[in-house]
Structure 1
Amino acid sequence: METRDSNLKFLKAKNKVEKLKRFYIHSVVYIVINCVITMVKLMTNLNNDETFREALFDFSIIISWLVWGIALALHGFLVFILPLIIGEDWEEQKIEQYMNEELQND
């Protein structure tokens, strides 16, 4: 029984670390890709005789940061906030509930 509990705790911890890792990777990719998009768009706009301010505040640059930023914020919510709201072990509770229902139906 003790081994089962320690295995379960290990799997839960591993799952949390994987979720954090995916969020951190998503954050780094967000920053790198949006910086590249911004630089390319900025250079293109400057070559089209726009001022630096006009080039920087281009609608497509802002939308790129904003839309992907909303997606990243949602990802962060799912990783950090949602477990606090619904509880850390809600998945296990639901699995146990459905398994008990199946056992009662048999």
Structure 2
Amino acid sequence: MSNKTIFQFISEPGDVNYGGNVHGGSVMKWIDQAGYACASSWSSSYCVTVYVGGIRFFSPIKIGHIVKVEAEVIYTGKSSMHIAINVFSRNIKRKEFEKKHIASSFLWQ
């Protein structure tokens, strides 16, 4: 079983903030969802997020861009695991993603 989960989707107008970019809260939701999917897949059980820290916003994500959220198990203990999460985006006309945000998330099963 893989310890990496990848989500890809197009950012939508409902994700917009007052500046015309994706709202930081939307990005935080995606980070939490990818972390949950990764942790639950790895542990084969229900998991909850108990801590998210170190979110760093490098640059804005534009509405209509393809977003990629990568979550990977980097540590497992007896009742917890650490998930590293990176968020990328790209214009639909481009081939390569740019790193936009990083976060570390600690999830408990």
TM-score (norm 2): 0.28
Point out the structure with the larger helix share: 1
TM-score (norm 1): 0.29
Rg larger for: 1
